[in-house]
Amino acid sequence: MAAEEGQVYGCHTLESWNEQLQKGNDSKKLVVVDFTASWCGPCRFIAPFLAELAKRFPSVIFLKVDVDELKVATDWAVEAMPTFMFIKEGKIVDKVTGAKKEELQQTVIKHMAATTLQYQGREDCGQSDGSKERRASADCDKAYGCHQYYFFSLIL
């Protein structure tokens, strides 16, 4: 079963785990994995926020793995819960340990923007004065809004 855009997909089997990682590799999308546990209070605290991020950033694949249910955490050097791994093309590009909302959000934005610019290309946005402003794809437009074009011009 494929993960739905805008939702956190729970990986309960090794097959679904591998399928979702492969989907991320093939699509070159950012994959954010929440390594969690049912007994973990901070994990329960951050879960609604992660669901909110998934809705805000539908171009990112959000996965949830219960470390007691699916024994893949040791393969990814997870030592505490919650741990969020940021994966691009099968490689860990970042990690957030703990229920840190702001750090989690900023890390998603950082890597989503880089992925969007690198893989979805850039679009020219014609301005009323005839000038061109570089901007990222529609996903970033939704995430940041018009007032954030300046952010993208700084990283280009």
Return d(Cα 13, Cα 124) in angstroms, integer: 43
Which of these is catalytic: 11, 40, 140, 146?
40
Catalytic one of 11, 43, 140, 146: 43
Q: How far is CA 96 from CA 15, 35, 83, in A?
A: 25, 11, 6
In the residue annotation, 11 being an active-site residue is answered as no
Look up residue 35 and give its two tokens.
């390594």
DSSP, res 146: G
Q: Tell me if residue 146 is catalytic.
A: no
What sign results for the dihedral spanned by CA atoms 122, 126, 129, 131?
A: positive
Catalytic residues: 40, 43
